Amino acid sequence: MSADSGTVEGVRQRNLSRLLRLVHRSGPLSRASLTEATGLNRSTIAGLVMELVTAGLVEERAPESSRRVGRPSPIVAAHPAVVAIAANPEVDAIEIAAVGLDQRLHARVRLPQSSVITPLRTAELIAEQITRWRSAELATADIVGIGLAVPGLVRAVDGLVREAPHLGWIDEPVRDLVAQATGMVTSVGNDASLGALAEHLYGAAVGIDDVVYLNGGASGIGGGLIVHGTPVGGVGGYAGEFGQNRPGIAASADQRAPDGVLEDEVSRGRLLEAVGLGQADDAELAEALDRATATAARDEVERQRRILATALSNAVNVLNPAVVVLGGFLAILAERDLPGLEAAVRAQSMPACGEDLRIVPAALAEDRLLIGAAEVVFTDLITNRLTDRLSSGLVLQG
């Protein structure tokens, strides 16, 4: 409301946002490159940067030796003290991290839990961890908000966790609980959607505006969409649930679960079973699959790849993405023969849709969920909460 988009003051807001977004996403940039990227005047850039510096959001550093003619341009970087707290509650543990506006991971802990974590306990643990960090790693930090990645359906409007089967949560007002416990602005999102966001911004799909992301975890298959460069939520914010789709299965012999959904057929559990493992992490699973000589194991891999290919084709036909990013055990399945999978998907898609398509494994490690959760906080800060940070520079008038 205060930053009317139609008014002249709004221009400055937008330009400040553009600048901050640039240095946040692209990393440290010289002032010269900022003028080039934005098309604004040198003096304008100088003023905008100064405002961001005084707001404590950005830092200017001595220029690097650029190996170029001319006066070196100072480097503008995100202020290292600005951080967001990201958290990811799981069945057996909760992971909490402090992610910097400069894309650095300032701190990170994994707090194992003896029993399944509750929403209230989640809020408590986050609050405790923040106070602990505040007197140590984050003593000088400027915490701008909290982002949660929850393995379940999250209603976008109010951060209510509708259902997190893995955690046993139903209709839990997680956002409000955490906000109350910490007194900080909090946002909650679906873990897979946040993974998609992270891969889009910093991972395997950087610069790609149309992305389909599927992640294979122990509990099933989740996913997220990027359309026009922005994450897709749908009305409720529940979009991306590829795992619940009913896949077309060409050969009926390939079907294991009658009337089952994708994650019943393409599952980590079935892969573990096929190689005779009880529990294993992704690396162990990949290795076991590499070693496996039994035809049963290989057949299971091929079966799952066939079904996955059809499921991906359906998504490709509808969304025509430039890139499909696969994470978790789906990446393992894919990487056993990436061109083969691409070919299989192309064969079942509209030819034109297949042309521009690339299938790639996820590039970010497990902290992609935390990065994505933090990113939501930063996006909110940059686009909506900038005005509040820009303290009164109006004294000059007197």
Partner DNA sequence: GGGGATTGGTGGTCAAGACCAACAAATAGG
Partner DNA sequence: CCTATTTGTTGGTCTTGACCACCAATCCCC
User: Which residues sit at the interface with DNA, rule CB under 7 A?
Assistant: 4, 6-9, 11-12, 15, 30-32, 35, 39-48, 63, 65-74, 394, 397
Cα–Cα distance measured from residue 186 to residue 174, given in angstroms and rounded to the nearest whole number: 9
CB contact at 8 A, 130 and 94:
no
Q: In the complex, what is the shortest distance from the CB of residue 47 to a copy of itself, in angstroms, rounded to a whole number?
A: 13
**Using CB under 8 A as the criterion, which residues of the chain lie in contact with a copy of itself when the complex forms?**
4-8, 10-11, 14-15, 18, 38-40, 153, 155, 162-163, 209-210, 223, 225, 227-228, 230, 232-242, 244-250, 252, 258-259, 310, 313-315, 317-322, 348-353, 355-356
Q: Where are the alpha helices (DSSP H) in 27-100?
A: 31-38, 42-54
Q: In the complex, what is the shortest distance from the CB of residue 110 to DNA, in angstroms, rounded to a whole number?
A: 42
| Sheet architecture: strand order including 169-172 | 153-154, 161-164, 169-172
Q: Where are the alpha helices (DSSP H) in 75-213?
A: 119-134, 174-182, 191-202
Task: Output 47 or 260, the one with its CB closest to DNA.
Answer: 47
Identity of the residue numbered 352: A
Degrees to nearest 5, angle at CA 395 with 394 and 398: 115
Q: In the complex, what is the shortest distance from the CB of residue 316 to a copy of itself, in angstroms, rounded to a whole number?
A: 9
**Which of DNA, a copy of itself, none sits in contact with 112, Cβ below 5 to 8 A by type?**
none
Cα–Cα distance measured from residue 278 to residue 274, given in angstroms and rounded to the nearest whole number: 10
**Which of DNA, a copy of itself, none sits in contact with 397, Cβ below 5 to 8 A by type?**
DNA
Task: Output 34 or 174, the one with its CB closest to DNA.
Answer: 34
Task: Output 107 or 386, the one with its CB closest to DNA.
Answer: 386
Task: Output 45 or 87, the one with its CB closest to a copy of itself.
Answer: 45
Strand pairing class (169-172; 186-190): unpaired
CB contact at 8 A, 319 and 356:
no
Task: Output 81 or 192, the one with its CB closest to a copy of itself.
Answer: 192
